[in-house]
Structure 1
């Protein structure tokens, strides 16, 4: 968190100067994922996992291959892929993994996305999450079920569509709906002027070859309901993935099932006993 606080402090000091340096700071602010150490119970979970190191190519930041860590629990015939959210790690899905371990015949796979957790990378992005999912599928095989939290839920859907793979079920927990709006809210939180935000979005499009508003689940959602069931868990008071976007998304995708967990919180919802119990019932 120290690095992020330093970036924020420098942005606040220079936010009215539309310079290349400020734009670089904003990119780092948006794309830097704080890495929090494992707690003892998380260390125990990771300690008994079967571990694999995989690689992805970081085209947009370092221009190098990055190692990232994958973890597996169980050797059942039903393969489940879990993808954590932004600034998180596989071990943060502890409660879900522990619950899944009580279900017979499962192979549970999770990973620390590049730039997150124990994996290499200074900056991260949705695209690195997506490449991580693809590398997992290439190494472990096609999952029957994907479970994703926040940005990880979006990454699962984007990756599966790009690979033309249809899991039996998508579970999306507090998914981000519109990445561009999320970036905008992050910049608004620092009172970054709109003209400087517009410059950032233009430079984003130049770097990533697509506008940030391309990454909107409304543009990808039809895929997830054609041959795969999709269940969403959300908090109507979520400030990170606002209900305004969720409501519009669900209204335009009536085949998606959804449960609301009032005041579960964007980060804490993955620990909700009620949510996890509902997830296990649907998983069967």
Structure 2
């Protein structure tokens, strides 16, 4: 019954936005983007953060009108930055920690905009990439690991900022094409073509991004760093073929296909492969 009412509510929202697009297109655009960009999960309260995050030094950084935490687990001069995905937070990396900590590396992690302990109400790739860039300017990590939307943001970050310190990158279950993400969202709400076009115009005007051209293939084609791309064949959140698109443009990446892990991709064998890639000479 709850599932029925949830589905019904989503369709009602979509219908309202569709009708609004013909009368007040600007308001329809704002509402469509609001539901597209505002996460409904992944927030943390300072008084009840997961134990793994309590073990870190937490530095709060201000960037323009936003505040976000940098979690730091001190180690040696090798620094790893972890970037989580949609409706998640930095604690999602806990299962991977034992494989990263074996090397003695310093581990850094952040909460994305409107996630975890970060401020804001919306999350978008350019803003998230600015968070990553702030960490790189301060700590100069050599390794960057991203999951899901965080993986796409890592691609965009390196494409835009070309961090000199970055040597290796690992992307797990990452989407590729912004146009696919928008279309999936439109299908969920049953939005009409007019609303989709309004969203395209919004991205172009606000972010100077053409959704049709914003693809992992294009972003990856500018990368020179070594990498691992991994995606699960049973991923129901991000289609398996999305990482294949990224791989087609990233000449220095190794593709690892998994099965049965779903979107989270937490797996001992996979993490051992990543550990070997990152730390074996």
| SS of the residue 1:120 aligns to | coil
Counterpart position of 1:138: 137
Paired with 1:67 and 1:198, the residues of 2 have a C-alpha distance of 32
Counterpart position of 1:68: 68
Q: Is the contact made by 2:235 and 2:262 (CA closer than 8 Å) also made in structure 1?
A: yes
Counterpart position of 2:16: 14
Correspondence for 2:277 among 262, 273, 282 = 282
Paired with 2:48 and 2:252, the residues of 1 have a C-alpha distance of 38
| SS of the residue 1:220 aligns to | helix
Paired positions, count:
268
Paired with 2:8 and 2:72, the residues of 1 have a C-alpha distance of 36
Over 3 Å counting, the alpha-carbon distance change for 1:8 and 1:121 in structure 2 is farther
Correspondence for 1:158 among 156, 159, 164 = 156
Residue pairs, 1:63-212, within 5 angstroms: 65-101=65-101, 103-139=102-138, 141-166=139-164, 167-212=166-211
Q: Is the contact made by 1:11 and 1:26 (CA closer than 8 Å) also made in structure 2?
A: no
Q: Post-superposition shift, 1:183?
A: 1.6
Counterpart position of 2:31: 25
Superposed CA offset, 1:29-66 (max 9, x none): 11001233559996211111011011223xxxxxxx11
Q: TM-score, normalised on structure 2? A: 0.86
* Structure 2: gaps of 5 or more residues: 1-5
Counterpart position of 1:54: 61
Q: Post-superposition shift, 1:241?
A: 2.6
Counterpart position of 1:60: none
Counterpart position of 1:247: 244
Q: Is the contact made by 1:38 and 1:91 (CA closer than 8 Å) also made in structure 2?
A: no
Q: Post-superposition shift, 1:5?
A: 9.3
CA-based RMSD of the aligned residues comes to: 2.5
| SS of the residue 1:16 aligns to | helix
Question: Does residue 263 in structure 1 map to residue 256 in structure 2?
Answer: no
